[in-house]
Amino acid sequence: MQTPAGKNLRVLSLGVLASTLASCVADDAELDPLDQVSTASAPVTSTCTPRTESHSDPNTGQSWTTVWTCGNQAGAAMYLGANNSTVVSHMDSPSSWFVCYRRGEMHAGGNNVWYYSQGDRAAAGWSGRQAWGYMPAVNVFTTTDPSPGIPQCHPDMWQSKLSISDPNTGKSWSTVWTGTNIGGTPLYKDTNTSTPIGYIDSTTSWFTCYARGATVSGFDVWYYTQGDRTISGWEGRHAWGFMPAVKMATRNDPYDSVPACAFGSSGGGGGGGGTICASPTAPSLFPVRGVHKTGVFDDAASNNPSLWSCENNNSRSDFDPPDHIGIDILAAEGTPVVASVAGTIRQAEPSSYSGNQVAVVDACGWTHYSIHLQRLATGITTGVHVNANTIIGYVGHTGTASNGVTHLHHSIYPGLPANNDRYDEGISPYPLVAAVEHNVCD
Ligand SMILES: [Zn+2]
């Protein structure tokens, strides 16, 4: 459905061109009647003709004061995007105005140019768009695409359905915003250019949310997405990062309904260093689920399981940096070890020194580290998101550092395993885990 203004103007343009158009289309659909003056010795060109005319598009919120009139295939379909997927309207007139062009999918005309206009009638179910859509250049009678002078459409982002999870922030999305960006653009861990972690090679990409940060070429908006490849050393992030809005083709930033990132301006702890909270997420559960005794190795009674309990009544700390950065929890071989916080598994593999080890990185970028495990629980692998109380393994005595004593060694330190190991900055886990060391056998 057209606005009255649009309809009148299209009738006017049709009237002006009607007589020449009919014969032209019959002779050669690729020629524009306005350029029939070309001589035989010069190549025949067909271009769209500009004129002053105002149109507003409720779909993009944009207005134009210049349009380009072109001959076109009468009845041509018009599409939601610059691709053949969704017909939203039809253009019945054989000559029509267009406001801009966009590059998209290749079409039968042998190029990827699509022209934007308001059609004459909406397709069923699409009346809300007021017939605005893209026409493939194959149906617009020009010898050059884009026709000289017609501007590129201000690019938009469009909503798409995509279920995606980010192990770095623990966030999931079911809707993303797709748009056009400069290919080969670095992605950054946070909303500044200090830590590049990967690249986005595609020129059409989806984004989940935005955050504000450092100003880059006049823009302080950053869009968050998963890139196409990682920078060496940042594999653990799976290429999730921020792109500065200057690399993104949008008419405004943040674009319309793109939501603010719930995790703020830092892309979480995964895969490397960067912004880390001053203190860890406090454990909500004790890491061992069963009778135990915490922080005591050096007396015979400690090794008497009949003295172990489900409470903290016999517990004390053996945190003693730099010699012992963590605490030891005596418990029977095979006692379940649980994640004490929600987070992402960042290490789940054996080492000769620590034995079977699992690192859970919390939303603050701190590692909660459990080692000497008898074995890992099923499904515990790098990148998996766990909730507090997820069983991650079982108490054992693996690794030379266990000295053959069955126990869990548990550490809490800032940063991540492997890529940016700040183990030596570990804090005493004792006050944190002792605070939740009640009824741990339930
Ligand atoms: Zn220890």
Q: How far apart are CA 323 and CA 365, in angstroms?
A: 24
DSSP symbols for 418-439: TTEE-GGGPBPSHHHHHTT-SS
Q: Give rounded-to-5 percent helix, strand, coil for the chain.
A: 15, 40, 50
Residue 97 phi, psi (nearest 5): -95, 150
**Residue 138 contacts residue 99 (beta carbons within 8 Å):** no
What is the distance in A from the centroid of ligand 1 to the CA of 327? 5
pLDDT given for residue 422 in this prediction: 79
The three-point CA angle 59-60-66 to 5° equals 110
Residue with the bigger pLDDT between 109 and 417: it is 109
Reduced 3-state DSSP string for 340-384: CCCEEEEEEEEECCCEEEEEEECCCCEEEEEEEECEECCCCCCCC
What is the distance in A from the centroid of ligand 1 to the CA of 434? 16
Residue 69 phi, psi (nearest 5): -95, 130
Among residues 182, 83, 180, 102, which one has the least CA distance to residue 145? 102
Assigned token pair, 222: 């950053």
What is the distance in A from the centroid of ligand 1 to the CA of 324? 6
**Residue 149 contacts residue 66 (beta carbons within 8 Å):** no
CATH architecture type of domain 292-434: Distorted Sandwich (2.70)
Among residues 289, 298, 354, which one has the least CA distance to residue 326? 354
Mean pLDDT confidence for 420-439: 88
Residue 17 has pLDDT above 50, yes or no: no
Residue with the bigger pLDDT between 255 and 287: it is 287
What is the distance in A from the centroid of ligand 1 to the CA of 171? 33
Residue 139 has pLDDT above 90, yes or no: yes
Residue identified by tokens 């880059």 is: 216
Assigned token pair, 385: 């998101």
Residue identified by tokens 């207005």 is: 63
Which residues have C-beta under 5 Å from ligand 1, the single-atom ion? 326, 328, 409
In Å, what is the CA distance from 3 to each residue of 118, 121, 134, 251?
Answer: 9, 11, 18, 24
How many other CB atoms sit within 10 Å of the CB of residue 10?
24
What is the distance in A from the centroid of ligand 1 to the CA of 237? 29
Residue identified by tokens 């000559």 is: 95
What is the distance in A from the centroid of ligand 1 to the CA of 272? 25
In Å, what is the CA distance from 378 to each residue of 52, 349, 362?
Answer: 68, 13, 20
What is the distance in A from the centroid of ligand 1 to the CA of 372? 9
DSSP symbols for 113-175: EEEEEE-SEEPTT-GGGTTEEEEEGGGB--SSSSPTTPPBPPP--EEEEEEEEETTTTEEEEE
Q: How far apart are CA 422 and CA 38, in angstroms?
A: 75
Q: Calculate the average pLDDT of the chain.
A: 82
What is the distance in A from the centroid of ligand 1 to the CA of 318? 8
Assigned token pair, 165: 């999870």
Q: For residue 305, what is the DSSP state?
A: G
Among residues 110, 196, 116, 105, which one has the least CA distance to residue 155? 116
For residue 277, give every residue at least 6 positions away whose Cβ sits within 8 Å of its Cβ, in sequence order, or none.
Answer: 364, 365, 366
Q: For residue 150, what is the DSSP state?
A: P
What is the distance in A from the centroid of ligand 1 to the CA of 88? 66
What is the distance in A from the centroid of ligand 1 to the CA of 435? 19
For residue 101, give every residue at least 6 positions away whose Cβ sits within 8 Å of its Cβ, in sequence order, or none.
Answer: 113, 114, 115, 116, 137, 145, 146, 147, 150, 151, 152, 153
Handedness of CA 285, 287, 289, 294 (dihedral sign): negative
Among residues 331, 122, 126, 91, which one has the least CA distance to residue 114? 91
What is the distance in A from the centroid of ligand 1 to the CA of 277? 25
Cα of 380 vs its chain's centroid, Å: 24
Residue with the bigger pLDDT between 163 and 212: it is 212
Omega cis (within 30) before 94: no
Among residues 114, 181, 183, 204, which one has the least CA distance to residue 153? 114
Residue 143 has pLDDT above 80, yes or no: yes
Residue 116 has pLDDT above 50, yes or no: yes
What is the distance in A from the centroid of ligand 1 to the CA of 417? 17
Global confidence as pTM: 0.44
What is the distance in A from the centroid of ligand 1 to the CA of 410? 7
pLDDT given for residue 327 in this prediction: 95
What is the distance in A from the centroid of ligand 1 to the CA of 343? 22
Among residues 363, 135, 183, which one has the least CA distance to residue 268? 363
Instruction: Please write the tens of the pLDDT for every residue from 252-264.
Output: 789 877 889 988 7
Q: How confident is the model at residue 433 (pLDDT cuts 50, 70, 90)?
A: very high
Q: How far apart are CA 80 and CA 130, in angstroms?
A: 12
What is the distance in A from the centroid of ligand 1 to the CA of 326? 6
pLDDT given for residue 417 in this prediction: 65
pLDDT given for residue 79 in this prediction: 93
In Å, what is the CA distance from 158 to each residue of 112, 178, 220?
Answer: 19, 5, 21
Q: How far apart are CA 246 and CA 317, in angstroms?
A: 52
What is the distance in A from the centroid of ligand 1 to the CA of 373? 12
Instruction: Please write the tens of the pLDDT for every residue from 331-363.
Output: 999 999 999 998 888 888 888 999 999 999 887
Q: How confident is the model at residue 129 (pLDDT cuts 50, 70, 90)?
A: confident
H or E element that contains 10? helix 4-27
Residue 59 has pLDDT above 90, yes or no: no
What is the distance in A from the centroid of ligand 1 to the CA of 437? 18
